[in-house]
Amino acid sequence: MNSVKQFFKSESAVSTVVSFVLLLGLFVTVLAVFNAHYIPEWKADAEKAHMDDVYDDMSQLKARADMLSLASSLDENSTVSLSIPIKMGGGDIPIVGPTKSSGVLSVNDDDNFRISIEGLNTTNSTNQLVISDSYFPGNIRYASNNGYYVDQIFAYENGAVIVSQRERSLMKMDPSISIKNQSGTLLKVDLTLMEITGDRVVITSNGIEEVKLTGNDWVEEFNSTKNESLTNLTISMNTSYPSAWAKYLNDSAKSEDLAYPSDYNVDEGEDYVIFNLNSSDSNIDFHLNKATVDARVGTF
């Protein structure tokens, strides 16, 4: 009788152990499926939301720089400073995925960016060089280090906010360049160079970094009314985002009913864009200004 009781007790113990092992296996399987499918999807969504936040931050940076440029144009002695927080890391999910992605914030780290301007006045088949200058405006960039969502670069250069992803770039906010076809005999082109000064800085972080902008100067570089009107204008850019600039310049010319290639031409290369306005039967009223903004980076 005792042996029968011991047998049933033994069977019960084995059954309990087997049930526990099965439940543990089921839990491990569910956890593995959860980690393999659900958490990566949630993390990718959270990192995408962080990219949206960074775009908002860079949009605010552009807006502040534009405000400082305007203040300097109204008062040359103005030294207003404005700060913009940049959310460097994100994508964290409480409990299940608390780790954050990080990002790299840089100021004037891209030596490739350059703008060259050449203007001609053609009279009696003679080309007279009226303006020929080169500028290195500088830039501010954020590059993400995501774990799940595709990495993106947000660049502020010459007043534009550009998003770059997988070697493709798109201009999200326009620069201070305008083309107006005011009549059949007059093209007006306004270009404000946004020069970012300050030491070269590269910071990797997953916290919040502060970019402090200070308006330093605003100078009129060229004015056709004071100098001389042009019949040909070439704006050349060495940039890491040629497709974004080429599309913007092409769209700007098309929107003013300029004909390609008789009125304008856009030449895009691997790291450059050349935009040419050829006004054979009209004048180009060209205005070139340069706003200087100092950029410093600190940590909250």
**Domain map (residue ranges) of the chain:** 2-299
What is the rounded distance in angstroms from the CA atom of residue 132 to the CA atom of residue 242?
Answer: 22
pLDDT tens column, 148-202: 999 999 999 999 999 999 889 999 999 999 999 987 678 999 999 999 999 999 9
Amino acid letter, residue 117: I
Nearest to 160 by CA among 113, 213, 214: 113
pLDDT tens column, 245-300: 999 999 999 999 999 998 999 999 999 999 999 876 678 999 999 999 999 997 54
What is the rounded distance in angstroms from the CA atom of residue 153 to the CA atom of residue 226?
Answer: 40
Q: Is the peptide bond before 40 cis (omega within 30 degrees of 0)?
A: no
